[in-house]
Structure 1
Amino acid sequence: MFNVQILKHDWPARWQSFIPDLVSAAKTSETICENCMAILKLLSEEVFDFSRGEMTQSKIKELEQSLNSEFQLIHELCLYVLSASQRTELIRATLSTLHAFLSWIPLGYIFESPLVCALLDRWLLYCL
């Protein structure tokens, strides 16, 4: 299991390219992409849901700002998976990751992007 505690310590100061590196790795195979989605979900949960009392407010703010500033790459990866993948496990992992992001991502990423259409298309494929 990926240790988010190490990542929270090293990112973003010591590993500034973590999100681009992770997104790049995710594009190499669907299995790796599924694992990357799990890492992103864990990171979001740790930073936005479970970090209170474990980190200083300044460290939490730094991680939140870093995730927000890098979210465009994550968003593009999620859209790509939802529009191109046929692998059920990867789609499920992507939806679970998106669910973890809903409490903090800017609403424009939901309503001013193709995300809702991609979700509806995926739902229609599932229903038919």
Structure 2
Amino acid sequence: MTGDFSGLADDFRAAAAELDRVVAQARQDLARFRRENQPTQAELRQLQDAALRGELGFDMEELARRVDEGRDDWSAIFSGESPNSVLLRGLLTRVIDENREAARTAIEDDPDFDPFPPPEDL
């Protein structure tokens, strides 16, 4: 009777190995994305200055004050590690609302964008 299940065990091992490979690749991709998308010191300074001037709304001004006082830092805020990350919500909502149509148009006009990629591309 064990012979009936030996093929199944091989299938499970193969599936587990594939899952391990996919997870490892996803971790590498995420690490690369994080490295390549870190804001520069100049960009953080511009953000800090604009936020302190109140140009980005009250919540961002509060975050900038906390960063200025050394009670928080932008890296922790953007990564979600800071409990104050929730203060980004107002700015993000405004930016999404202001850019929704432009993003939709850009996606619709992109001949390479496929909203339904084949499973092997995921």
TM-score bin (small chain): 0.3 to 0.5
RCO higher in structure (CA 8 A, sep ≥6) = 1
- Greater gyration radius: 2
Normalized against structure 1, the TM-score is what?
Answer: 0.31
TM-score, normalised to structure 2, is 0.32
